[in-house]
C-alpha cells in the first residue's frame, strides 16, 4: 500500500496509508485485531538500599570507615562542583556562617549548590542557620542527604529536630518536593523516596554550647540523631577555653574527647570541624568518623597569599588555625 501525504496547516504534512484496491481495503477492515494489553505495571516495593547506597556519607558509616569532606561558604554551583571533585565524600553547604542565602529570605544559592554536588556522586549536606523546622524542611526538600544543626542546647531540641526531619509515623515532615529524589542515583520514585528517606537521610547536631555539652550523653542517646558534630571554636568559646591562634587548650581537648566517648557509648557517629589537612589527620588518628578538611574561602585565601609570596620572593605563609 503506497503512502499518501496529506497537507494540514501550512508547512506541516501528515503521512498516512491508503489501500491500493477495494480488496485490500476489505482485508484491512476484516483482519483480526491484536488484543489490547495493559501497560506494564510497576511494583511499589522499594529497591532496598537505593537511597542509602547513594548517600556517600551514609555508605562510609555503614562500612565503618572514616569520611572526609569539604566546607562551602561561597555561593555558586561552580564552587560546589570544585569542592565535590576534590575527592571528598561530602560537602557541607554552610547557610549559617557562609555567604550562602539558604533558608533566609531566599534559598536559591542552596538550591544551586545541592544538585551540583549530588550530580558528581558526592553527598550534599546543609548546615541550616538555626534550629527551626521549616529550615530543615527546605534543606531536605532541596535534596540534601543530611542536615547539620548548629548551637543545639537541649535534649528536647534534639527530639524536635528528629520530628522535623522524618516522615510520619516517626516525625511530621511534609511530603511533596519533586526535587529531593533527583539528588540520588539511581533516582528513586516518589514512593521509594517516601519509604526510604527516614533511614537514608542523616540528622546531625553540633555540640558547641555549654548546655549541650553538659547533656551530651542524653543527646547522643536520642533515637534518630545520627551524628554529633563538634565545632571546636564555638565549643571552646562556650566552655570558657577559646581557640586562640589555632591553639586548642587542654580543657577543650578533654571536652572534645568526652563528646567522642559519648558517641561511642551510644553507637552514634562523631564528626569534627578542622582547619587543614594536617589537623584533619590528627582528628582521624583520634578516631573521629566524619572530618572536614578545608573550607573554600580560607583555602582560596591561603593559596593566593602563598603563590603571591612565592612570586614576590617572600616567605611562604603558614595556614594557622583560623577558619
Active-site residues, by number, are: 97
**How far apart are the C-alpha atoms of 60 and 261, rounded to whole Å?**
20
**How far apart are the C-alpha atoms of 161 and 174, rounded to whole Å?**
14
Query: CB neighbours (10 Å) of residue 198?
Result: 18
**How far apart are the C-alpha atoms of 148 and 207, rounded to whole Å?**
11
Q: Is 34 exposed, middle or buried (0-12, 13-18, 19+ CB in 10 A)?
A: exposed
**How far apart are the C-alpha atoms of 203 and 187, rounded to whole Å?**
21
Rg (CA), the chain: 27
**How far apart are the C-alpha atoms of 224 and 220, rounded to whole Å?**
10
With contact defined as beta carbons under 8 Å apart, do 227 and 269 qualify? yes
> How does strand 269-272 pair with strand 227-230?
parallel
Tell which residue, 297, 300, 298, 296, has the closest CA to residue 320: 298
Phi, psi of 149 (to 5 degrees): -110, 120
Residue position matching grid coordinates 548548629: 150
Amino acid at each position: 500500500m503506497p503512502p499518501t501525504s496529506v497537507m494540514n496547516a501550512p508547512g506541516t504534512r501528515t503521512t498516512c496509508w491508503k489501500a491500493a484496491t477495494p480488496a485490500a481495503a476489505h482485508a484491512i477492515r476484516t483482519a483480526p485485531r491484536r488484543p489490547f494489553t495493559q501497560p506494564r505495571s510497576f511494583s511499589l516495593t522499594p529497591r532496598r538500599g537505593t537511597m542509602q547506597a547513594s548517600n556517600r556519607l551514609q555508605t562510609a558509616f555503614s562500612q565503618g570507615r572514616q569520611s572526609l569532606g569539604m566546607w562551602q561558604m561561597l555561593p555558586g554551583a561552580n564552587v560546589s562542583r570544585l569542592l565535590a571533585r576534590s575527592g571528598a565524600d561530602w560537602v557541607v553547604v554552610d547557610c549559617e556562617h557562609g555567604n550562602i542565602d539558604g533558608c533566609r529570605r531566599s534559598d536559591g544559592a542552596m538550591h544551586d549548590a545541592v544538585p551540583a554536588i549530588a550530580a558528581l556522586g558526592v553527598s550534599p549536606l546543609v548546615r541550616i542557620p538555626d534550629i527551626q523546622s521549616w529550615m530543615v524542611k527546605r534543606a531536605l526538600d532541596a535534596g540534601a542527604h543530611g542536615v547539620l544543626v548548629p548551637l543545639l542546647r537541649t535534649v528536647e531540641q534534639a527530639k524536635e529536630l528528629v520530628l522535623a526531619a522524618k516522615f510520619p509515623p516517626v516525625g511530621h515532615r511534609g511530603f511533596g518536593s519533586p526535587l529531593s529524589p533527583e539528588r540520588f542515583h539511581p533516582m528513586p520514585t516518589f514512593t521509594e523516596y517516601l519509604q526510604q528517606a527516614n533511614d537514608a537521610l542523616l540528622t546531625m547536631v553540633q555540640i558547641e554550647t555549654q548546655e549541650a555539652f553538659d547533656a551530651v550523653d542524653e543527646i547522643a542517646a536520642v533515637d534518630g540523631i545520627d551524628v554529633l558534630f563538634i565545632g571546636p571554636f564555638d565549643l571552646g568559646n562556650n566552655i570558657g577555653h577559646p581557640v586562640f591562634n589555632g591553639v586548642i587548650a587542654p580543657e577543650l581537648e578533654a571536652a572534645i574527647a568526652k563528646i567522642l566517648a559519648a558517641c561511642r557509648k551510644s553507637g552514634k557517629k562523631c564528626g569534627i570541624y578542622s582547619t587543614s589537612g594536617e589537623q584533619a589527620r590528627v582528628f582521624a588518628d583520634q578516631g573521629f568518623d566524619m572530618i572536614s578538611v578545608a573550607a573554600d574561602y580560607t583555602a582560596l585565601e591561603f593559596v593566593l597569599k602563598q603563590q603571591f609570596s612565592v612570586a614576590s620572593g617572600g616567605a611562604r605563609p603558614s595556614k594557622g588555625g583560623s577558619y
